[in-house]
Structure 1
């Protein structure tokens, strides 16, 4: 099934409430459908930040993604359910096992980090708790998946899946992982929306902090045709996103908030199509 495109931005209120308000309003004005916020102790908490965003504009909000080790399953489910209720169903609960450095954050909070299996089990328990709290409601769940076990979990439980691989992962490998996800999902395959996060878009040069953010040199990213990049004119970018959707099904496109304006013409060309 070919899903219509929708677009989100990945942002955080690191400039304070006025900057956050401007970012949210501008994203909504440009036609983006979602504000997605990362998780980590270096940032403000995503849950109240997203509650504020949802009150500013008629836009979806989501964690991208909440780190399971930073909260107990019951606490994470409680926060997610609360946002689903308060946003009248406009919240998407992204949850994962944690990025590098999450182990230190969990220790700071006095929480166990656990093995890979224990962290996946924590996600399962969180989703079980969320289903109980939601009752007749349903909070859409986004899972990031790259390995066999996380792909199986996503195939069984996620509404939205982001293929979690390095910035230098070849396109053919991503296509294969998407096919594996659909095979594991079986009858659920058409119910899963595939997400793709972009680090940069447009015709400008990559910023000097690219390597810190992606783990790869800018020249290497460009040389390997990284799927985290979307270079070109608006029409070239739109054409390339349609090729990516045709080849592995990605239709939910998010971009770093620094490229909010750069991707906006593509949102106008493709949103809902």
Structure 2
């Protein structure tokens, strides 16, 4: 397995206004997070605008979509926005994309675009990767350097596409998925990636940090802390900062997962863990 140093991303959400969002970007950089990420829903600010603001508020913080629903925009529009963000951020933009999400069909309806079948949405992801790497003639190409591409996947066809084409594979898993389930997904990526597996960054998301999660946990995730703990869910980290760091190190060493995103409400709680693993 290749050299996989840790990276940590902060999944931003719920800022009350632009000033608070810019403040979150600065705080993420101060704490040592590598990236600030934003979701793509019609109920949140447009990703391109939000990420440009975040990058402008911080000196070196990278920004990215996590993830852009490619089914709700024309392919060349996504390539145009990606090139524009690369230009505006000094190549600090990472293009995270996926073939849809729960509720994605409603977003497409609201925006007045067809959502497409599962096969069409998967094909669209590959088309976006091509367009971002080689913008169409006449389309603004930004700095001329294609952005790093993350593909979120959970099912075999998307995992295989991501393994072959993406710089980063982000595992989108149900809340109660444990290490065994994660190992199965990594195995699918390993097989599909072949000789390039060591070059592919693997990403998981931590939604809960600590032994006493807040009351809103059940509403947001549909499960409570006891269920997450009992299942050994990768979505939850508990124990001391050292124990959490050891858990992430074991997953990195055994499975290759080196990029970890953390929900913004736990940015400060996770900071001691990040400090223990910085540069490792």
Structure 1 runs (4+) deviating above 3 angstroms are: none
Distance 2:30 2:67 in 1: 24
Residue of structure 1 in register with 2:76 after alignment: 74
Aligned partners of 1:202 and 1:234 also within 8 Å: no
Aligned partners of 2:6 and 2:279 also within 8 Å: yes
Residue of structure 2 in register with 1:169 after alignment: 177
Structure 1 segment 34-49 matched on structure 2, within 5 A: 34-49=35-50
Residue of structure 2 in register with 1:126 after alignment: 128
Q: Please, which of 226, 229, 240 is the counterpart of residue 219 of structure 1?
A: 226
Q: Give the secondary structure class of the aligned counterpart of 1:48.
A: helix
Residue of structure 2 in register with 1:55 after alignment: 56
Q: Give the secondary structure class of the aligned counterpart of 1:27.
A: helix
Q: Give the secondary structure class of the aligned counterpart of 2:49.
A: helix
The verdict on how the C-alpha distance between 1:252 and 1:87 changes in structure 2, with shifts beyond 3 A counting, is: same
Query: Are 2:6 and 1:5 aligned?
Result: yes
Distance 2:185 2:17 in 1: 39
Residue of structure 1 in register with 2:138 after alignment: none
Q: Please, which of 174, 180, 185 is the counterpart of residue 188 of structure 2?
A: 180
Q: Please, which of 61, 64, 67 is the counterpart of residue 65 of structure 1?
A: 67
Deviations 1:99-132, CA, capped at 9 Å, x for gaps? 1111011011110111111101111111111111
Deviations 1:39-85, CA, capped at 9 Å, x for gaps? 10000101111011111112000000011122111111111111112
RMSD: 1.4
Residue of structure 1 in register with 2:88 after alignment: 86
Aligned partners of 2:154 and 2:171 also within 8 Å: yes
Give how far 1:6 is off. Answer: 1.2
Q: Please, which of 248, 255, 275 is the counterpart of residue 241 of structure 1?
A: 248
Aligned partners of 2:160 and 2:188 also within 8 Å: no
Aligned partners of 1:13 and 1:44 also within 8 Å: no
Give how far 1:136 is off. Answer: 4.7
TM-score, length of structure 2 as denominator length: 0.93
Flag structure 2 segments of 5+ consecutive residues without an equivalent: 136-140
Give how far 1:167 is off. Answer: 1.1
Residue of structure 2 in register with 1:154 after alignment: 162
Residue of structure 2 in register with 1:201 after alignment: 209
Residue of structure 2 in register with 1:191 after alignment: 199
Distance 1:127 1:161 in 2: 13
Give how far 1:148 is off. Answer: 1.0
The count of corresponding residues between Structure 1 and Structure 2 is 272
TM-score, length of structure 1 as denominator length: 0.96
Distance 2:89 2:168 in 1: 19
Residue of structure 2 in register with 1:258 after alignment: 265
